[in-house]
Amino acid sequence: MTNPTTHLALINLFVGDIQGGLGPFLGTWLAQAAQWGPSEVGLVTTIVGFATLALSGPLGALVDRLGRPRMLIAVACAAILVGTLLLLPARSFMTVLAAQFVAAAGGTLVVPAVTALTLGMVGKQAFPKQQGRNQAWNHVGILGAALAISFGTPFMGPSIAFWVLGGLSACAIAAALTTPRHAYNGRRAVGWKEDDADDRPERSGILKVLSDRRLLILSAALALFNLANGSMLSLLGQKLVASGQDGTGWTARYVIVAQAVMIPVALFAGSLADRRGRRQLLLVACAVLPVRALLSAFLSDPYWLVLAEVLDGVASGVIGVAVPVVVADLTWGSGRTQTALGTVAAVQGVGGALSGWVGGLLALHLGWTWAFLALAAPAGLALVLALWLEETCAPGGRDGAGSACSQDAPPESAPPGDTAPQGAVLEETEPRGRAVGAPAGP
């Protein structure tokens, strides 16, 4: 019998590259197929980006309310596939905008759905390590797709991106729908007692959950992190072009390096979350980013700049593991974990969306060196906020709902990773979480 976590690995492998739709290949495709200019591509990307940021919280709430992550993953991947395929014949501004929005909405939905499926499969205590594995497979998928597109483009042209995304979307849908239903337990996913079907506490109010001081600090730190991080690679490519180097080629190599580094980093971070606590992971990610900015500012040799992108892999790899784990710690038992995760992702995304504009202005008015040095400032502020954030789960500790959050602590219910006990409420049951800070029992 197939291990349910094998399906989880396959889902993360296939969705890694597709959740961004065509992503960086959109501009190339529209420029070649529809003769679009950079301003039109940028406008579509900006509109869709902010629209999907607004949807991030509500889609997370949908996952919390519906409690059917397998189905939602399949729907999300189908939306990505449909939206991407609609781009093939699209030429007008409105048709491209609509197609991109459909694909981007699917990509926004898939993240909280996969997180909910993971929690419902392995439980809270095993979540950090499994999230590390999820992210590792995610980066393997991104790396594999990038290599396939890179090597396939000379033979098939820019349309190779559609074929790769289409194949990955179909595989992700199949992996989600063939995941054994008994592997997911709706009560385990939100922190209820798995053996007490009558334990149906009320959900916490959304405002109560989202106004948690620690969640606000985390969101602000992540927005500053993305403000600093979002434009660095693009600026680095432009800096190399300005110095007469092959900016496009080196950018592609840097992406591959960063993704390759993220794979072992994600696995290590998932293991370290229980042994050293979550806060230290955030501190490492935020401390690495200013160093990357300094290297990008003062190094000009593209070979030495690989070091900066190794640090990008470390920072991004750690963040991808730490953030869902910390959000789960802070909201466990509230019935609003995916709502909070979607909202945090939206705030984080605002920083990323502003980064390109801010970075471009800095480079224009201050030059390359000072632009990177200026981007180190929000990275430093993110580190200060991470230092201010309390530990959400020390080794052997408990989370905000009083449940054991570390594998060093004794389990309070069925062992994580076990399949749902007979009679437990499974995927079809609508979860209703307990209030933040409530004890694990009834």
Residues 282-314: tens digit of each pLDDT: 999 999 999 999 999 999 888 999 999 999 999
What is the mean pLDDT of the segment spanning 64-90? 89
Q: Which fold has domain 1-190?
A: Growth Hormone; Chain: A; (1.20.1250)
Q: What is the pLDDT averaged over residues 330-341? A: 89
pLDDT value at position 430? 41
| 440: pLDDT strictly greater than 50 | no
Task: Write down the domain spans for the chain.
Answer: 1-190, 208-396
Tell me what the mean pLDDT of segment 325-351 comes to.
90
Residue 106 has pLDDT above 60, yes or no: yes
Provide the percentage of residues in the chain whose pLDDT is more than 90.
Answer: 39
More confident residue, 206 or 203: 206
Give per-residue pLDDT as tens, 226-251. Answer: 999 988 888 888 888 888 887 767 88
Give the per-residue pLDDT at 267.
Answer: 94
**Span 89-110, average pLDDT:** 88
Give residue 317's pLDDT band: very low, low, confident or very high (50, 70, 90). Answer: very high
- Rounded CA-CA distance 57/346 in Å is 7
CATH of domain 208-396: 1.20.1250.20
Query: Any idea which of 40-49, 119-128, 208-217, 234-243 has the lowest mean pLDDT?
Result: 40-49
Residue 30 has pLDDT above 70, yes or no: yes
Q: Which residue has the higher pLDDT, 413 or 4?
A: 4
Instruction: Give pLDDT, residue 286.
Output: 94
- If you write DSSP's letter for every residue of 247-314 in order, what string do you get? HHHHHHHHHHHHHHHHHHHHHHHHHHHHHH-HHHHHHHHHHHHHHHHHHHHH---TTTTHHHHHHHHH
Residue 201: predicted pLDDT: 63
Q: What is the structure's pLDDT at 145?
A: 83
Residue 324: band (very low, low, confident or very high) from pLDDT cuts 50, 70, 90: very high
DSSP 367-422: -HHHHHHHHHHHHHHHHHHHHHSPPS--TT-B-TTS-B-STTSPPSSSPTTPPPPT
Please compute the mean of the pLDDT values over residues 59-88 and round it to a whole number. 91
Distance, CA of 8 to CA of 11 (rounded, Å)? 5
pTM for this model (two decimals):
0.83
The reported pLDDT for the residue numbered 219 is 95
Q: Has residue 169 got a pLDDT over 50?
A: yes
Q: What is the predicted pLDDT for the residue at 196?
A: 65
Res 318: pLDDT: 94
Residue 85 CA: distances (Å) to CA of 163, 249, 269 = 9, 27, 36
Q: Which residue has the higher pLDDT, 150 or 169?
A: 169
Residue 421 predicted with pLDDT over 60:
no
Confidence of residue 265 (pLDDT cuts 50, 70, 90): very high
Measured CA to CA, the distance from residue 276 to residue 269 in angstroms comes to: 10
Give Cβ neighbours of residue 62 (< 8 Å, ≥ 6 apart): 72, 109
With bands split at pLDDT 50, 70 and 90, how would you rate the model's confidence at 320? Answer: very high
pLDDT of 61-71, one tens digit each? Answer: 999 988 899 99
Determine the Cα angle at 111 with ends 108 and 116, to 5°: 135
The answer to whether the 1-190 and 208-396 domains have the same CATH topology is: yes
Q: What is the pLDDT of residue 401?
A: 60
Q: How many CB atoms lie within 10 A of CB 85?
A: 17
Span 198-210, average pLDDT = 77
Q: What is the pLDDT of residue 197?
A: 63
- Average pLDDT score over the chain: 82
pLDDT higher than threshold 50 for residue 187: yes
> What mean pLDDT is predicted for residues 77-91?
87
At 39 the pLDDT is 65
